[in-house]
Structure 1
């Protein structure tokens, strides 16, 4: 026979788990998967358009927060306990909206990569539209954690007010590689059944990426 106080304790523990789950786990709405997969298909051509059509070692200037990698996601999760993934998804859209605009801005009208990049931005906006429609309005009115809000404010700061130390240089392909990997991490439910699926959020993948970066620097 279970003692009444023990039953109350177990019930309280279960209720606590139910209350915690929505905060820590935010499944990607099914309606987003098709737009995300269509966008991903376009991203698969980024090597051709973002590397072969640019001079060797070509880079563009971006805000340091726009170099948004899987390791950036891990750091934010370590800074903010129980961070809702919806918050990170919102930040992902904010970051990469700016990234795509900056890439288009440096491309002349007749550059061979401009139509591709413009279509990529259109697909991205389509995904963002579905993302907004897939969640209640209240989800976007909640106050952001201080760390995330600080990043958000810096991303929306006027360029002439950004200190020189906050600018970084990265190749267009590197920026789109980051966009792709973080997308697979934050919206992994939509890519779970694709061929050669990798765990972009996993530690082994992050280490592999880091080793590649170190090799390129050496």
Structure 2
């Protein structure tokens, strides 16, 4: 670690503030660039049939209102980022799985999957026992595609729209982004 960062990190730790790791900021910035409106429109709407939907679990749709409600329930920012990562990576994977390799959106979703894989390395240090129970339970539901979970038909673009909106809510401040 560079010497210039040590005092800043100490101050943040003392104040109890949670900051996104530098790796998270860089990777989510790359994701933000990949999720530009024009790209989402082209790859997730224009290249799909009209009204095309993907079946996802109800818990795999994460909207800004969900984040606001969880924040009001005093869920930590780190836990919210952990939840966003798992929900969004699963949503991108669901979209990617329905595409044949020759589909014009296949490479785009493959690149998104690779960025989420790299981000997963950042989150590999978290354990579900380290985050609030409500978030750990939601993450378990996402990966337990059992019969008891409810499914929902969602447009691919809507999934990525939510992914970007929530990502900006969670990372825009700590990572000091300029929104494009």
> Normalising TM by the smaller chain, what interval?
0.7 to 0.9
Aligned residues: 167
More helix by share: 1
Q: How far 1:61 moved relative to its partner?
A: 0.4
Looking at structure 2, the residues matched to 193 and 149 of structure 1 have their Cα atoms a distance apart, in angstroms, of 28
- Cα deviation 1:54-112 (Å, max 9, x = unaligned): 1111101001111101111111223x33x211111111111112111110111112111
Indicate yes or no: 2:157 matched with 1:163: no
Counterpart of 1:92?
84
Counterpart of 2:4?
none
Looking at structure 2, the residues matched to 31 and 180 of structure 1 have their Cα atoms a distance apart, in angstroms, of 18
Counterpart of 1:74?
68
User: What runs of 5+ residues in structure 2 fail to find an aligned partner?
Assistant: 1-11
TM-score in terms of structure 2 length: 0.81
Q: How far 1:29 moved relative to its partner?
A: 2.1
TM-score in terms of structure 1 length: 0.68
SS in 2 for 1:169: strand
Indicate yes or no: 2:113 matched with 1:121: yes
Indicate yes or no: 2:30 matched with 1:38: yes
Counterpart of 1:10?
none
Q: How far 1:30 moved relative to its partner?
A: 2.7
RMSD: 2.4
Counterpart of 2:57?
63
Counterpart of 1:177?
161
Looking at structure 1, the residues matched to 53 and 154 of structure 2 have their Cα atoms a distance apart, in angstroms, of 5
Q: How far 1:119 moved relative to its partner?
A: 0.9
Counterpart of 1:152?
139
Matches within 5 A, 1:103-118: 103-118=95-110
Q: How far 1:163 moved relative to its partner?
A: 2.7
Looking at structure 1, the residues matched to 70 and 179 of structure 2 have their Cα atoms a distance apart, in angstroms, of 29
Rg comparison, structure with higher value: 1
